[in-house]
Structure 1
Amino acid sequence: MSTHPAAPKPNEDYPLSEVPMGDRKSFWSLAIILLGFTFFTATMFAGGQIGTAFPFWPDLVLVIFAGNLLLGLYVAVLSHIGFKTGLNTALLSRFGFGRIGARLSDLLLGFTQIAWYGWGTATIAVVLLRMAGADPDQSPLMLNGLIVFFGLAFCLTAYVGYRGLELLSIVAVPAILVLLALSIVLALRDAGGIAGLASGEPTTSLGIGAAIAIVFGTFVSGGTQATNWTRFAAKSSHAVGGAFLAFFIGNGLMVATGAIGALVYQQPDVVDVLVLQGLTLFGIAMLFLNLWTTQDNTIYNFSVVGCAAFATPRRRLVTVIGALIGTGLALMRIDLHLVPFLLALGTFIPPIGGVIMADFFVRHRGRYPALATAAIPAFNWPGLAAYAIGCVAGLVSPGVPPVNAILAAFLAYWLLDRLIGTKIDAVRPERVDR
């Protein structure tokens, strides 16, 4: 039986088409990958930033709960869309923004994933040098050598594809859970229990809205691209449940661990906290697994976006190219600019998800035509205008900017589509507007 030359090989994970039902995965297969994705050291660092700014009860607990609940709900809705359509985020964006208009979301999502890859690669190199007693700023050759090594090594499991991500997560997720639990137990012991933790006083200042935005922003970019995995779900409950487990509970645990450590030890840097707890060697192992499980998912996200942007099914090649770009950003020390980066993510990424949700649920009533037979216009102006409105709302409105951005983009799309939108219908294959 002959194969169409444009058809993706199985190990390329369908970057340009729907995932067929025959290749869908179980709940636990999906959940373990998503948990590995959300077990990210940057989330602990973000927790450290808010942990020194609020008393434990009720402020800090409220910030952690609210930020992760909002994130979990947002990702769960997108995850259902991923299951229903079998499409990744980049292809979903084609419906919401148009064939050419979607280049905007490709650029934003692709850059954020590469930036995270650069952050993680630089972070592990810096941590290893610090643990070895060397000053990273005074050892540029050693630092750059480690960055190049990890920049190439971290992409190996993503190069394999979904199966590589799954195998790594099966090993790493339980190990990370054990160390997180140990760190929290030690922090509670050193604080004098819950009562001692509750008596801790903040040493920095941060608004509630900004703090929730940081919690939400740690994974809003990755969460917007959760469809890259939930398109493999066999049931909607698998997609929604796996996403909520990872982005509400898993991400919440990471934020809480970083925040509690910062509150107890007055150290926003999670590495310093682990050293103070006597977990240096275990901490290195945890950070390595922690970063690896997220780095491979991050570069996998980039490969999916890159394939859609350049209309190529060669996901493995795009993976390597992305790793090289991310390594370059690591060499430029993108790790020194985490909090501003998180706040930017919380403003400019959420409206993409708002547009995708509005396009799927409102414009198309929960059902897209097959991608191969859909007449998608070059620009979907309601989607592009709604995205811009969402960004403005995130920048200027009070409260929690990411949530405002999502709601504004969704409502703006709904209103604009009523005025100027035209539903994308299925057409005969020979009439597809490419």
Structure 2
Amino acid sequence: MSEATKIDSEHSLSAVPKSERRGFWNLVFTWIGYVFTVTIMSAGGNIANGAANFWQCMAAVYTGYGLLFLLALLVSYISQTTGYSFGLLTRYSFGSVGSRLISFFTMVTLLGWFSINCYLSGSITHILFPVIPQIPASIFFGALYTFTAMKGQKIMNQLGLVATVLVFAVGMIAIILGIRDAGGFTALTSIQHEQTKTFNDLVTLAVGSVVCGVVGWVPDIMRFSKGTKTSLGVMAVGMGLAGPFMLVIGIIGMMVYQQYDIALILQEQGFLAFAFVGLIGNIWSTAQGNVYSSGLNLASIFTKTSREKLILIFGACGILLGTFGLYRYFSSWLSFLATVFPPMGGVVIANYFFVWKQKLPAVEKTNFPSFFILSFVAFAIGIASKYVVHFGLTTINALVISFVAEIIFGSIYLTAQANAIRAEAEKV
């Protein structure tokens, strides 16, 4: 095996060939493994903590996830059509150096998610086995998650399948016992709290729970998709069922037990020991996805360094952050992600359909400029809309405004620039 092949063993620098494309059942469990996560349960708890009642929580969940589903479908179509990872797609939107900045930023956000997963693993272990300190447990599990991410999609899919079954069983038990302890479903929906967050804030929390994954992880998974029907099915299951299921567990836990830490909820219900394996498997499937996608993003930045080495460095940094308890700032973290990633997705989507018009030259043959400055301007305008547009929903505004800005800039200059770059690539 050549050095180049070793470095690009997961197609981090090229398109996934048609011969390696996969169907619905192969990909759906990998994606469910990403969204069947304890951190999304915690986001549900944060939503319930600020909402007036159960139905307001559900309205926020499906408003946010409706946006995420649309975003996921568009990003899935682009990655499935091109076969490119998110890191490679951003070259067409932001330029050779600009894409490295975007990849680095995406990697930093994934680092935050990974550190939270490491912290949660150690926290759950310590709650169940007080004799085991949290920090050593966090380090141990972080190293385990990093190791399986290095092995690639095949083992990740197998772990995702096991984790899906386990966490579904654990989640159903938590929901059923929560409804029972509330006095029945009617009693649960009758619970009223003082509303401390606006509906816009609640939707923002729902979007923030997985928007990083929709923009940054979906291309890394769905570049292996065989076709549009496969992508549609996988995203429908993830955004319509799996993600909301996780949020509902946290919502019920907060409303009934005033706890959104899943370990404490399960402790209240008296079956933490039974759920331990399922929870760790659940976190494992998500955490390894954080590491895997980060390895691809880093590989698009440091093209001469092997993916495995980059993953080891990322894992070590994430474990270190996890020991400092970034989880304490979880709600603020979700709000930040919901502000930044929708406009990034808006730029990438508009760039593909309206600037390049779905005709991307091969990445290996394309001489990209260092920056597509106007794409960065569109991205910045989308982020700024949070602070200057005071109607509607923040996350939808940011997505739409950046999308429209990229189309406008495309008609002014970017499309002509893309045509010249494509013509040059075709000569190679």
Assess if the C-alpha contact under 8 Å between 2:33 and 2:160 holds in 1. yes
Give the Å deviation of 1:80: 0.8
Query: Deviations along 1:216-252, whole A, 9 cap, x unmatched?
Result: 0011111112100100001122123212311332111
| Matched AA of 1:355 | V
In the aligned structure 2, how far is the partner of 1:313 from the partner of 1:232?
23
Distance 1:118 1:57, change over 3 A: closer
Counterparts of 1:2-401 in structure 2, within 5 Å, are 5-8=3-6, 12-133=9-130, 142-203=133-194, 205-225=196-216, 226-312=218-304, 314-398=306-390, 399-401=392-394
Distance 1:219 1:386, change over 3 A: same
In the aligned structure 1, how far is the partner of 2:368 from the partner of 2:378?
18
In the aligned structure 2, how far is the partner of 1:420 from the partner of 1:340?
37
SS of residue paired to 1:130: helix
Assess if the C-alpha contact under 8 Å between 2:52 and 2:195 holds in 1. no
Give the Å deviation of 1:429: 6.2
What is the match of residue 422 of structure 2? 426
Distance 1:143 1:61, change over 3 A: closer
In the aligned structure 2, how far is the partner of 1:408 from the partner of 1:389?
7
Query: Deviations along 1:84-131, whole A, 9 cap, x unmatched?
Result: 110010110000001111122112200010111111101111221122
Give the Å deviation of 1:430: 10
Query: Deviations along 1:314-350, whole A, 9 cap, x unmatched?
Result: 2122111110110111122212111111111111122
Assess if the C-alpha contact under 8 Å between 1:68 and 1:249 holds in 2. no
In the aligned structure 1, how far is the partner of 2:92 from the partner of 2:105?
17
Assess if the C-alpha contact under 8 Å between 2:51 and 2:202 holds in 1. no
Unaligned 5+ segments in structure 2 are none
Give the Å deviation of 1:4: 6.7
SS of residue paired to 2:207: helix
Query: Deviations along 1:117-162, whole A, 9 cap, x unmatched?
Result: 111101111221122346xxxx9xx333222211211112211100
Assess if the C-alpha contact under 8 Å between 1:176 and 1:286 holds in 2. yes
Assess if the C-alpha contact under 8 Å between 1:347 and 1:405 holds in 2. yes
In the aligned structure 2, how far is the partner of 1:359 from the partner of 1:130?
48
In the aligned structure 2, how far is the partner of 1:196 from the partner of 1:175?
28
| Matched AA of 1:65 | Y
Unaligned 5+ segments in structure 1 are none
Distance 1:276 1:5, change over 3 A: closer
Question: Is 17-26 or 305-314 further displaced after alignment?
Answer: 305-314
In the aligned structure 1, how far is the partner of 2:388 from the partner of 2:174?
38
| Matched AA of 1:200 | I
SS of residue paired to 2:244: helix
Assess if the C-alpha contact under 8 Å between 2:166 and 2:282 holds in 1. no
Identity %: 25
What is the match of residue 416 of structure 1? 409
In the aligned structure 1, how far is the partner of 2:54 from the partner of 2:44?
15
SS of residue paired to 1:201: coil
In the aligned structure 2, how far is the partner of 1:8 from the partner of 1:224?
27
In the aligned structure 2, how far is the partner of 1:78 from the partner of 1:300?
18
In the aligned structure 2, how far is the partner of 1:68 from the partner of 1:423?
33
SS of residue paired to 2:31: helix
What is the match of residue 406 of structure 1? 399
What is the TM-score when the length of structure 2 is the normalising length? 0.94
* Count of matched residue positions in the alignment of Structure 1 and Structure 2: 423
Question: Is 197-206 or 223-232 further displaced after alignment?
Answer: 197-206
In the aligned structure 2, how far is the partner of 1:374 from the partner of 1:9?
20
Give the Å deviation of 1:364: 1.5
| Matched AA of 2:4 | A
In the aligned structure 2, how far is the partner of 1:401 from the partner of 1:13?
36
SS of residue paired to 2:168: helix
Give the Å deviation of 1:431: 7.0
In the aligned structure 2, how far is the partner of 1:55 from the partner of 1:333?
29
SS of residue paired to 1:6: helix
Query: Considering only aligned residues, what root-mean-square deviation do their CA atoms show, in Å?
Result: 1.9
In the aligned structure 2, how far is the partner of 1:133 from the partner of 1:4?
49
| Matched AA of 2:109 | T
| Matched AA of 2:157 | E
Assess if the C-alpha contact under 8 Å between 1:303 and 1:316 holds in 2. yes
Question: Is 41-50 or 401-410 further displaced after alignment?
Answer: 401-410
Give the Å deviation of 1:418: 1.2
SS of residue paired to 2:369: coil
In the aligned structure 1, how far is the partner of 2:301 from the partner of 2:387?
27
